[in-house]
Amino acid sequence: MAAHSRDVEGFAQIDSLREISSQFFEMVPVRKLKWKDEEAALLASSPELQRHLLLATVKNPVCQSCPPALSYMRYFMKLLIHKLESEDADICDEMYEAYTDILSRQEDEDETLCYKTYKMPSGESVSLQESVHLVSQGTTGLSTWQAAQHLAEWVIENPQVFSNRSVVELGSGLGLTGIVTCRLCQPQSFTFTDCHSQVLYLLSRNIERNLSQPTLSTDGEASSDRDRKNLKKIRRQLSLSSDHGGGGGAEIACGSDHSVVSRDRIVLRESCGSEDEICSDTVELDVNPSHWDMDATHRLASLNKDKRVNICHLDWECVKTKLLDKLKADIILAADVVYDTSIIPALVFVLKSLLDTGPDSNRKPKAFIASTIRNEDTRDEFLVAMGSEGLKYSVVESPKHCLFYYDRSVPIEILQVSAH
């Protein structure tokens, strides 16, 4: 183990190869990996470097605890060997051994879910269990979207905005932005919210995995029967939805027109049929009681290991004032929640209620909303809806540093919104 970490450290000194490792763990589509010719040449010239690269990717311990999709690792190794062969390299034996090992692994139903690991500047990382498909089970919430990565980059550069403040996130999805905020910005409290039961379930597990450390080990996390059963249901439903054209495998990227066509709740309702499905109509939170303390409404729970962290079932389209009162916060965050014009009025209603008054009368609440501008009309409709509710907005400066490896070809904008 000691020798292993030394090797990974050695590897980490080679910046360009470290970038390949980060892209591998974020599961950047293999054909889109940024891989310079000099890097291939450098690798070709040194079997030692090739071993370093293996240790920082497919042979890294993270691949045991939080593995990327098996099909992804296969593509990756195929590309790597192809690159080296085209450079006439002296390929080390371990390279072929690693590829054979990956090819011989059984592909199973686990291919519907995989882990993506996002490395932060501190060297720490956030590992999230995600669907391999961008839109699955009629929801967009089972993958991490570009706007969440963009907003997380902004959060990392602006920790003072969150320090010692109460924060609530709308449409949290799988939790990247919120987990990064909790890990790096010392908020007074953070409440993750979403409306979709499967999203909330995976989100709760991602929070447990990343915010309950070090007491919770990643390999022990799926140990309860209840967790195994829930994950099995999600996987089965995901594999059914992919059979019906719900995605395109680990290589899937946003459609060429960058459109997202899901109507999260409506599509999901249609998909709820059999008895044992986890259905979005459930308003109760389904979280592991050994990690979460549920409140009396069964919509809001706090993390045992860190009471500042909460999770809440919140549907903008049928929300109770009492629940909104409980969610009052200094800062409201949201990423990629403006893509379906039919839910804009409900979203703006929730925003306005949260922005009108905060928990502290001396501080005006503020919202930071990151949106991928796929369609100018949708964005304009959102701005008009906010204007007619008396909400004021301005565009904030984009993060200066590119940390994560998402598609930057479509613009992403962060709006700061307030009520007065």
Ligand X SMILES: C[S@@+](CC[C@H](N)C(=O)[O-])C[C@H]1O[C@@H](n2cnc3c(N)ncnc32)[C@H](O)[C@@H]1O
Give the nearest distance from C-beta 166 to ligand X in angstroms: 19
- Which C-beta is closer to ligand X: that of 69 or that of 147? 147
333 near ligand X, judged by CB under 6 A: no
Site residues for ligand X, 199-228, by CB under 6 A, read 199
**Exposure of 325 in the CB half-sphere (CA atoms within 13 A):** 3
User: Using the rule CB under 6 A, which residue among 67, 68, 138, 141 binds ligand X?
Assistant: 141
User: Using the rule CB under 6 A, which residue among 22, 117, 140, 237 binds ligand X?
Assistant: 140
> How many whole angstroms separate alpha carbon 23 and alpha carbon 35?
10
x/- binding map, residues 342-381, to ligand X, per CB under 6 A? Answer: -x--x-----------------------------------
Residue type, 316: W
The secondary structure of residue 265, as a DSSP letter, is H
The secondary structure of residue 123, as a DSSP letter, is S
Give the nearest distance from C-beta 94 to ligand X in angstroms: 36
Closest CA to 166 of 332, 393, 408, 304: 332
Stretch that binds ligand X, among 67-75, 121-129, 139-147, 182-190 (CB under 6 A): 139-147
Give the nearest distance from C-beta 262 to ligand X in angstroms: 8
285 near ligand X, judged by CB under 6 A: no
> How many whole angstroms separate alpha carbon 128 and alpha carbon 174?
7
Q: How far is CA 184 from CA 99, 126, 158, 162, 189, in A?
A: 37, 11, 10, 9, 13
User: Using the rule CB under 6 A, which residue among 317, 389, 407, 413 binds ligand X?
Assistant: 317
Q: Tokens standing for 30?
A: 């293999």
310 near ligand X, judged by CB under 6 A: no
Apex 371 CA angle, 26 and 191, nearest 5: 75
Closest CA to 354 of 384, 395, 396, 312: 312
Element (DSSP H or E) covering residue 117: strand 113-119
- Which C-beta is closer to ligand X: that of 153 or that of 315? 315
Q: Tokens standing for 409?
A: 């070809």
Give the nearest distance from C-beta 268 to ligand X in angstroms: 9
Alpha helices in 70-194 (DSSP H): 70-86, 93-104, 146-157, 176-185
User: Using the rule CB under 6 A, which residue among 26, 130, 208, 264 binds ligand X?
Assistant: 264
Are 372 and 398 contacting, i.e. CB atoms less than 8 angstroms apart?
no
178 near ligand X, judged by CB under 6 A: no
- Which C-beta is closer to ligand X: that of 264 or that of 330? 264
19 near ligand X, judged by CB under 6 A: no
Give the nearest distance from C-beta 281 to ligand X in angstroms: 13
> Cα 310 from chain centroid?
17
> How many whole angstroms separate alpha carbon 176 and alpha carbon 156?
12
x/- binding map, residues 80-119, to ligand X, per CB under 6 A? Answer: ----------------------------------------
Q: How many residues does the chain have?
A: 420
138 near ligand X, judged by CB under 6 A: no
Q: How many residues bind ligand X (CB under 6 A)?
A: 25
> Beta strands 331-335 and 306-313: pairing type?
unpaired
Q: How far is CA 363 from CA 166, 331, 349, 359, 367, in A?
A: 11, 10, 21, 8, 13
247 near ligand X, judged by CB under 6 A: no
x/- binding map, residues 155-174, to ligand X, per CB under 6 A? Answer: ----------------xxx-
x/- binding map, residues 33-52, to ligand X, per CB under 6 A? Answer: --------------------
x/- binding map, residues 182-201, to ligand X, per CB under 6 A? Answer: ------------xxx--x--
> How many whole angstroms separate alpha carbon 79 and alpha carbon 30?
8
What residue ranges bind ligand X (CB under 6 A)? 139-141, 144-145, 147-148, 171-173, 194-196, 199, 264-265, 314-317, 335-337, 343, 346
